[in-house]
Structure formats: C-alpha cells, structure tokens
C-alpha cells in the first residue's frame, strides 16, 4: 500500500530554517509529481511547492506559491523515494501542518487539492516570533 510519511517539523524562531522530508513507500514515486501543501488553523489547505518527475536534471521542474518563492526549496531524491522541503527565513505566518502529496499527470492545476491522489499525515511546523 502506497504511503507518504513526513518528518522534520518542529518549533523554530522567526528567521530560522527547517528541512522537511517526505518518505514514500509501497510503490515507486519517481514518475509522480510530488508536492507540499500546508494548512494553518482555521484556514484552507494551500499549495506550497511541487516538483516534476526526475528523468534527467534538465527535465525536472519546480513550482512555488508566491509566498514560498525565494525562501523555500523543493527537491527530490528518486533513489531514496524521498522529497524534501528546505524552508529558510521562516515567519510566524508559516506556522501550519505541512503535508506532502503525489499524483501522476500534467502540471496543470497544481494548487487544486482534489487532484492529488496520495497524501501524508502531515508534520507540524511552528514559528515563534
């Protein structure tokens, strides 16, 4: 059974950094688009970043929400079936549960949560001011 398990969340001061990991198991996700979403208390789940399948380095593309541009970096290690989210210059408004997701297909409508087939349980990120 396919499973995504996030780790790396925690409490960090504003301006600090965290690196989240999403370990995939049960199937090979190297041909899947992988993404990170987040959900803050009382808010809708929102798209953070996505990365396309890795074939050759030039074929992999990344996509970011505006708030993540320049601060967050998504990457993947297909050999280890793992996706990462490096988050720098964290702000209190980044506090949320961060979840990874996977799907096949095109890169259209990346922000639409119902189009993602696999989800992890999430990891809590709390940024103190």
What's the rounded Cα separation, in Å, for the pair 11 and 14? Answer: 10
pLDDT in tens, 59-114: 678 999 999 999 999 999 877 789 999 999 999 999 999 999 999 878 889 999 99
Least reliable range by pLDDT among 33-47, 51-65, 69-83: 51-65
- Residues 6 or more apart whose CB falls under 8 angstroms from that of 83 comprise 21, 22, 24, 34, 36, 51, 74, 75, 76, 77, 100
Strands 96-103 and 33-39: what pairing?
A: antiparallel
């Amino acid at each position: 059974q396919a499973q995504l398990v996030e780790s790396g969340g925690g409490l960090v001061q504003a301006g600090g950094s965290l690196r989240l990991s999403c370990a995939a198991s049960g199937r090979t996700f190297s041909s899947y688009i992988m993404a990170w979403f987040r959900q803050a208390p009382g808010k809708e789940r929102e798209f953070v970043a996505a990365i396309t399948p890795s074939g050759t380095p030039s074929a992999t593309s990344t996509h970011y929400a505006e708030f993540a541009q320049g601060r967050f970096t998504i990457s993947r290690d297909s050999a280890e079936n793992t996706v990462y989210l490096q988050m720098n210059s964290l702000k209190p408004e980044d506090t949320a549960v961060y979840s990874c997701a996977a799907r096949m297909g095109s890169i259209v409508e990346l922000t639409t949560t119902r189009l993602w087939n696999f989800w992890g349980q999430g990891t809590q990120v709390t940024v103190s001011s």
